[in-house]
C-alpha cells in the first residue's frame, strides 16, 4: 500500500499564525505597558504626586470687595477655580469638542483609538480629556522621535487611567481647565476669562466659552489678538459641535454664528492694570513678610514661601471701585493740567525748569542720566563713563508716553529725559480713619513709564497743609478756641530764641497784611502766615514735632519755627494717617493695607490688626475739624461749595469743571509751596480721609504763577472729581453726615453766625 503525503491546509496555517501573532502582539503591548508602568521608559508620577500635582500658582491680591487687583507670578499666572465656578455651557463646549464619551470611558476611549488607528487620524484624534490632562501635567515635552513619541503616548495612557482612579470626572475637568496655557500670561481658565474678557469664569456667556474652548486645539495658533478670523471660525466649530450633540438648539447655533468676535483684552502684567503702584509696594511688603514667616512643611522642616508660585492669597483693604475712581480722577485732571503746563513752557529756554541757569539744568540732567536704566546696564557691561555719556546723545528708536497713547519715535536719550521731566506727577491715598484701612492708593498715572511711587516713597514740602498740626498743638496746650483772635500784622521771631542765623519774619502769601484781628478759624481758612507764626512762637516747635510723631509721622523735622509753614518734606501716606486722627476723635489708627494672608489651601497664615493710640482729646480733635471745615466754607477750599473765595479772579482761567457744589460737611486744607513747586489738598468727610499731591519730578519744574501753581488748582480738583464719583456710587456708603462732636464740647467753636454761601457769592466781584 503506497503512502500519500497530506496537503497542508493553507487557511488553517494562516489562521494559526494570525492568532499567534495577535496573541504575541497583545502580550507585547501588555509587556510594554507593564514596563512603562514600572518606570523602565521613564519615571511615572507617584501616588503622592498624582494627589498633589506640581503646578505653579500665582499669588493673588484680593480687594476688600472681593475683586482681584492683580497677581504676583514669574511664568505661570495661574489661579485655580473650583468646578462650581465653571458655567455649564463651558463644560458642555469642552465635552462636545474634545471628548463626547468623557463620562463613559475610564481614561482611554477604545472606540476613538480604534478609529484613529484605522483612519490614521484623518477622522479625529483619540486623546481623551484625561489623556490631555496627563500630557499637560506630566509629559508636556513632546518628542519628535516616533519611537519616543509612542512611548510617551503609552505613559499618557497609563497616567490617564491612574488619574481616573484617583479623581472624579468633575475634578479632572476642573484640573484641565485650570492647567491650560491660553497665551498672554493667561494660565488657566480664570486668567483667560479675565485677560480676554475681563470677567470671572462664572460670568462667561456661551460664545465666550466657545471661543476659549476652541483655543484648546492650539492657543498659539488660535489666538484672538493675532488671528481673530481664524479664532472666529474655530469658535463657530465649537458651537456646531454643541449643536451636533444637542447641547444647544439650532436657533442658538445660528444666532451665535452671526455674532462678531468680541474680546475685552485686559492684560495682567506687573506694569498694567489697576493699583499698579500699590501692588509694587505690596510686593516689597510681602518679601519682608516671607523672610520673617517660614513655611512649615509636612515633615516639620522649614522653607521660605515663594511669592510667585505658592498660590498665596493676600486680602487687602483697597476697594477696587474706589481705586478705579481715584485713578480716573488723577488721570483726568493731570491730562488737562498737563496741556496748560506744556503751553506755559513754550518759549522757555530752560523748559521745563524755571529760575535756574544752564549749569543747574546740566546738573539735573547729569543726575538723571546716572539714575537711568541705560546707565546701569552699560556700566555693568564694562563701558566707561565717557562712552555711557556719549550714548545719551545718539538718537535711538524708542517708545514714549503721551496722554494720547504710546508713540514710537527716534530721539536722543538725553532729550527723552527732558521730555519726561515735563510731566506733572500725582499721589493720592484714601483711608478710613476709624479702621486705618487704606481704600485707594494712586502712586502715579502710568507705572510702565513712571515707576516712582508718590504715596509712600515720594516726600515733598507740605506747605500750609502742616498748619493744622500747629493749631492742634496750640489748642491742646493753650486751650485756645477757634474764636480767639490775633492781629494780621507782620510778626518776627528773634534769632536768639532758636539759634537762627537771622530773625524769622514770614510774609503772607500775597505779601500783604490786613491789620485786622482775625479769629483762628478765619486765619486758618485763609492760610494767614502771620497768625501761624504767632502760634508756634507761643508753644515752640518741639510740642508740634512731638504731636506729629504721635500722629505717625517719621520723616525728619528740624526743630525750627519755620516748620509752621510746612517747610519739611513728608509723604502723602504720612499726611493722610495724621489727618485721620482729627476725623477719628483724636485716636490715631495706623494705616493698614493687608487684613490677612492665606496659603493655597485657605489656611490663614496671619491676620493684621492696626496699632491705635489716643493722641488728642475729643474736644481738641473736634475743634481742629471745625477749623478745617472753615477752609471749605470761606477759605481756599470753598470752590468745592460752588464759591470761589477772595481771590476768585485768580482762578477764573485756572481749571474748568467748577463748581463741585458739595452740600455736605467737608473738612480740608490746601497747601502750596515755594515757587509753586507742590500743590496739596487734604480732604475729610467723617468716614474717609484723602490726601492729594501734585507736582513735577523736579522742584525746578513748576508753573510760573500762583494761578495754576497752587494746591486749590493743582490738587483740589482731583479730590473733587474723586468724591463726586464716590457719592454717585451709593453702594460705597461714603458719609454725607456731620462730623461727630463731643457731647459736652468744652471749647467754643461757633464764633459767630457763618455767612451763607449765597451771601459770599454776592459779595465777590469779578
Query: Higher pLDDT residue, 133 or 108?
Result: 133
Q: Give the residue-averaged pLDDT of 588-594.
A: 98
pLDDT at 53 over 70: no
pLDDT at 762 over 70: no
Domain region containing 531: 425-761
pLDDT at 573 over 90: yes
Residue 302 is assigned to a structural domain of this protein: no
| 3-state SS assignment for residue 176 | helix
Place of cell 522621535: 145
Q: Angle at which helices 467-478 and 572-583 pack, to 10 degrees?
A: 40
Give the whole-angstrom CA distance, residue 653 versus residue 646: 15
Q: Give the residue-averaged pLDDT of 520-537.
A: 94
Query: Higher pLDDT residue, 299 or 155?
Result: 299
Question: How high is the pLDDT of residue 500?
Answer: 62
Among 228-232, 588-592, 671-675, 755-759, the range scoring the smallest mean pLDDT is: 755-759
Do residue 89 and residue 145 come from a single domain?
yes
pLDDT at 118 over 60: no
Do residue 390 and residue 433 come from a single domain?
no
Question: How high is the pLDDT of residue 25?
Answer: 61
Do residue 565 and residue 680 come from a single domain?
yes
Q: With bands split at pLDDT 50, 70 and 90, how would you rate the model's confidence at 761?
A: very low
The CATH number assigned to the domain holding 177 equals: 1.10.3810.10
pLDDT at 753 over 50: no
Among 101-110, 319-328, 397-406, 681-690, the range scoring the smallest mean pLDDT is: 101-110
Do residue 386 and residue 431 come from a single domain?
no
Share of the chain above pLDDT 90, in %: 70
Question: How high is the pLDDT of residue 40?
Answer: 47
Do residue 523 and residue 607 come from a single domain?
yes
Out of 266, 300, 317, pick the residue that ends a domain.
Answer: 266
Q: Is residue 713 within 8 Å of residue 655, measured between CB atoms?
A: yes
Ramachandran angles phi, psi of 336, nearest 5°? -75, -45
Q: Give the residue-averaged pLDDT of 18-32.
A: 61
User: What mean pLDDT value characterizes the chain?
Assistant: 87
Question: How high is the pLDDT of residue 674?
Answer: 87
Report CA-CA distances (Å) from 755 to 336, 736, 759: 33, 21, 6
Name the CA dihedral angle for 217, 221, 224, 229, rounded to a multiple of 10 degrees. Answer: -100
Query: Higher pLDDT residue, 490 or 268?
Result: 490
Among 290-299, 394-403, 588-597, the range scoring the smallest mean pLDDT is: 290-299
Residue 204 is assigned to a structural domain of this protein: yes
- Cis peptide upstream of residue 114 (ω within 30 degrees of 0): no
Q: Give the residue-averaged pLDDT of 7-28.
A: 66
Question: How high is the pLDDT of residue 399?
Answer: 95
Among 8-12, 143-147, 586-590, 705-709, the range scoring the smallest mean pLDDT is: 143-147
Question: How high is the pLDDT of residue 161?
Answer: 79
Do residue 585 and residue 546 come from a single domain?
yes
Question: How high is the pLDDT of residue 151?
Answer: 59
| 3-state SS assignment for residue 90 | helix
Residue 649 is assigned to a structural domain of this protein: yes
pLDDT per position as a tens digit, 384-435: 999 999 999 999 999 999 999 999 999 999 999 999 999 999 999 999 999 9
Give me the DSSP letters along 312-379. Answer: -EEEES--HHHHHHHHHHHHHHHHHHHHHHHHHTTT-TTTTB-S--HHHHHHHHHHHHHHSHHHHHHH
84 contact partners, CB below 8 Å, separation of at least 6:
none
pLDDT at 50 over 60: no
Q: Give the residue-averaged pLDDT of 103-124.
A: 62
Share of the chain above pLDDT 70, in %: 84
Q: With bands split at pLDDT 50, 70 and 90, how would you rate the model's confidence at 13?
A: confident
Question: How high is the pLDDT of residue 325?
Answer: 98
Out of 361, 390, 415, pick the residue that ends a domain.
Answer: 415
Q: With bands split at pLDDT 50, 70 and 90, how would you rate the model's confidence at 751?
A: confident
Query: Higher pLDDT residue, 510 or 143?
Result: 510
Q: With bands split at pLDDT 50, 70 and 90, how would you rate the model's confidence at 547?
A: very high
Among 15-19, 260-264, 421-425, 584-588, the range scoring the smallest mean pLDDT is: 15-19
Do residue 400 and residue 375 come from a single domain?
yes
Question: How high is the pLDDT of residue 30?
Answer: 56
Give me the DSSP letters along 281-316. Answer: HHHHHHHHHHHHS-EE-TTS-EE---TTTB--EEEE
pLDDT at 488 over 70: yes
Ramachandran angles phi, psi of 261, nearest 5°? -80, 110
β-pairing verdict for 569-570 and 587-589:
unpaired
Residue 330 is assigned to a structural domain of this protein: no
Do residue 435 and residue 411 come from a single domain?
no
Give the whole-angstrom CA distance, residue 197 versus residue 208: 8
Question: How high is the pLDDT of residue 756?
Answer: 34
42 contact partners, CB below 8 Å, separation of at least 6:
151, 155
Q: With bands split at pLDDT 50, 70 and 90, how would you rate the model's confidence at 641?
A: confident
Do residue 404 and residue 434 come from a single domain?
no
Out of 415, 446, 461, pick the residue that ends a domain.
Answer: 415
Residue 738 is assigned to a structural domain of this protein: yes
Ramachandran angles phi, psi of 475, nearest 5°? -65, -45
Q: With bands split at pLDDT 50, 70 and 90, how would you rate the model's confidence at 496?
A: low
pLDDT at 562 over 90: yes
Q: With bands split at pLDDT 50, 70 and 90, how would you rate the model's confidence at 300?
A: confident
Do residue 678 and residue 733 come from a single domain?
yes
Question: How high is the pLDDT of residue 74?
Answer: 85
Question: How high is the pLDDT of residue 745?
Answer: 81
Range picked from 347-351, 744-748, 755-759 for highest mean pLDDT: 347-351
Residue 397 is assigned to a structural domain of this protein: yes
Burial tier of 169 (Cβ tally within 10 Å: 0-12, 13-18, 19+):
middle
Residue 300 is assigned to a structural domain of this protein: no
Do residue 585 and residue 484 come from a single domain?
yes
Among 51-60, 213-222, 392-401, 582-591, the range scoring the smallest mean pLDDT is: 51-60
Do residue 563 and residue 473 come from a single domain?
yes
pLDDT at 48 over 60: no
Question: How high is the pLDDT of residue 653?
Answer: 37
Per the structure, the count of domains in the chain is: 3
Question: How high is the pLDDT of residue 648?
Answer: 38
Give the whole-angstrom CA distance, residue 503 versus residue 683: 34
How many other C-beta atoms are found inside a 10 Å radius of the C-beta of residue 195?
24
Question: How high is the pLDDT of residue 638?
Answer: 85
Which three three-digit cell numbers place residue 133? 490632562
Residue 337 is assigned to a structural domain of this protein: no
The CATH number assigned to the domain holding 480 equals: 3.40.710.10
pLDDT per position as a tens digit, 604-624: 999 999 999 999 999 999 999
Amino acid at each position: 500500500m503506497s503512502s500519500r503525503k497530506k496537503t497542508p491546509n493553507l487557511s488553517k496555517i494562516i489562521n494559526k499564525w494570525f492568532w499567534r501573532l495577535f496573541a504575541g502582539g497583545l502580550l507585547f503591548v501588555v509587556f510594554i505597558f507593564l514596563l512603562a508602568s514600572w518606570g523602565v521608559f521613564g519615571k511615572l508620577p507617584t501616588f503622592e504626586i498624582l494627589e498633589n500635582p506640581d503646578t505653579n500658582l500665582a499669588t493673588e491680591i484680593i480687594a476688600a470687595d472681593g475683586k482681584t487687583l492683580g497677581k504676583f507670578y514669574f511664568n505661570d499666572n495661574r489661579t485655580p477655580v473650583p468646578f462650581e465656578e465653571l458655567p455649564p455651557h463651558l463644560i458642555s463646549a469642552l465635552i462636545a469638542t474634545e471628548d463626547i464619551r468623557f463620562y463613559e470611558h475610564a481614561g482611554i476611549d477604545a472606540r476613538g483609538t480604534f478609529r484613529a488607528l484605522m483612519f490614521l487620524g484623518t477622522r479625529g484624534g483619540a486623546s481623551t480629556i484625561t489623556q490631555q490632562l496627563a500630557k499637560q501635567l506630566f509629559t508636556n515635552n513632546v518628542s519628535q522621535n516616533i519611537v519616543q513619541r509612542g512611548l510617551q503616548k503609552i505613559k499618557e495612557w497609563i497616567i490617564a487611567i491612574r488619574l481616573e482612579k484617583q479623581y472624579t470626572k468633575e475634578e479632572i475637568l476642573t484640573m484641565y481647565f485650570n492647567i491650560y496655557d491660553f497665551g498672554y500670561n493667561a494660565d488657566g481658565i480664570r486668567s483667560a476669562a479675565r485677560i480676554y474678557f475681563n470677567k470671572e469664569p462664572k460670568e462667561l456667556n456661551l460664545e465666550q466659552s466657545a471661543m476659549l474652548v476652541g483655543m484648546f486645539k492650539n492657543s498659539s495658533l488660535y489666538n484672538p489678538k493675532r488671528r481673530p478670523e481664524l479664532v472666529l471660525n474655530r469658535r463657530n466649530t465649537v458651537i456646531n459641535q454643541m449643536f451636533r450633540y444637542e447641547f444647544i438648539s439650532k436657533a442658538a447655533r445660528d444666532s451665535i454664528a452671526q455674532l462678531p468676535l468680541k474680546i475685552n483684552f485686559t492684560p495682567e502684567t506687573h506694569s498694567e492694570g489697576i493699583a499698579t503702584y500699590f501692588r509694587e509696594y505690596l510686593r516689597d511688603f510681602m518679601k519682608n513678610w516671607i523672610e520673617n514667616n517660614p513655611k512649615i512643611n509636612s515633615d516639620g522642616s522649614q522653607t521660605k514661601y515663594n511669592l510667585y508660585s505658592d498660590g498665596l492669597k493676600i486680602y487687602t483693604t483697597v476697594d477696587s471701585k474706589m481705586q478705579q475712581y481715584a485713578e480716573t480722577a488723577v488721570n483726568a485732571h493731570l491730562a488737562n493740567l498737563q496741556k496748560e503746563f506744556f503751553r506755559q513752557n513754550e518759549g522757555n529756554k530752560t523748559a521745563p525748569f524755571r529760575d535756574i541757569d544752564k549749569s543747574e539744568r546740566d546738573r539735573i540732567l547729569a543726575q538723571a542720566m546716572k539714575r537711568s536704566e541705560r546707565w546701569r546696564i552699560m556700566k555693568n557691561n564694562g563701558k566707561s563713563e565717557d562712552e555711557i555719556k556719549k550714548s545719551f546723545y545718539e538718537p535711538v528708536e524708542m517708545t514714549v508716553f503721551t496722554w494720547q497713547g504710546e508713540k514710537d519715535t527716534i530721539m536722543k536719550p538725553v532729550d527723552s529725559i527732558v521730555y519726561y521731566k515735563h510731566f506733572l506727577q500725582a499721589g493720592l491715598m484714601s483711608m478710613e480713619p476709624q479702621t486705618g484701612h487704606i481704600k485707594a492708593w494712586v502712586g502715579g498715572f502710568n507705572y510702565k513709564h513712571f515707576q516712582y511711587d508718590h504715596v509712600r516713597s515720594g516726600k515733598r514740602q507740605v506747605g500750609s497743609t502742616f498748619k493744622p498740626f500747629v493749631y492742634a498743638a496750640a489748642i491742646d496746650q493753650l486751650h485756645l478756641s477757634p474764636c480767639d483772635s490775633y492781629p494780621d500784622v507782620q510778626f518776627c521771631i528773634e534769632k536768639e530764641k532758636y539759634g537762627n542765623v537771622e530773625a524769622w519774619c514770614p510774609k503772607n502769601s500775597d505779601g500783604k497784611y490786613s491789620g485786622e484781628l482775625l479769629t483762628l478759624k478765619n486765619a486758618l481758612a485763609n492760610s494767614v502766615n502771620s497768625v501761624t507764626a504767632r502760634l508756634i512762637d507761643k508753644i515752640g516747635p518741639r510740642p508740634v514735632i512731638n504731636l506729629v510723631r504721635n500722629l505717625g509721622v517719621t520723616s525728619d523735622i528740624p526743630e525750627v519755627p519755620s516748620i509752621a509753614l510746612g517747610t519739611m518734606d513728608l509723604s502723602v501716606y504720612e499726611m493722610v494717617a495724621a489727618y485721620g486722627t482729627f476725623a477719628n476723635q483724636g485716636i490715631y489708627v495706623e494705616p493698614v493695607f493687608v487684613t490677612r494672608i492665606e496659603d493655597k489651601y485657605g489656611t490663614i497664615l496671619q491676620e493684621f490688626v492696626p496699632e491705635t493710640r489716643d493722641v488728642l482729646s475729643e474736644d481738641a480733635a473736634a475743634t481742629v475739624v471745625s477749623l478745617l471745615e472753615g477752609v471749605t466754607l470761606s477759605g481756599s477750599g470753598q470752590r468745592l461749595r460752588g464759591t470761589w473765595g477772595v481771590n476768585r479772579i485768580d482762578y477764573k482761567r485756572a481749571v474748568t469743571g467748577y463748581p463741585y457744589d458739595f452740600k455736605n460737611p467737608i473738612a480740608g486744607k490746601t497747601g502750596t509751596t515755594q515757587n509753586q513747586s507742590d500743590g496739596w489738598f487734604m480732604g475729610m468727610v467723617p468716614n474717609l480721609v484723602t490726601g492729594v499731591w501734585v507736582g513735577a519730578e523736579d522742584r525746578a519744574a513748576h508753573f510760573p504763577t500762583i494761578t495754576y501753581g497752587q494746591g486749590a488748582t493743582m490738587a483740589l480738583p482731583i479730590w473733587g472729581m474723586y468724591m463726586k464719583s464716590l457719592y454717585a456710587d451709593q453702594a460705597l456708603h461714603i458719609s454725607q453726615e456731620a462730623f461727630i462732636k463731643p457731647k459736652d464740647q468744652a471749647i467754643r467753636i461757633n464764633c459767630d453766625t457763618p455767612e451763607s454761601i449765597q451771601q459770599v457769592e454776592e459779595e465777590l466781584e469779578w
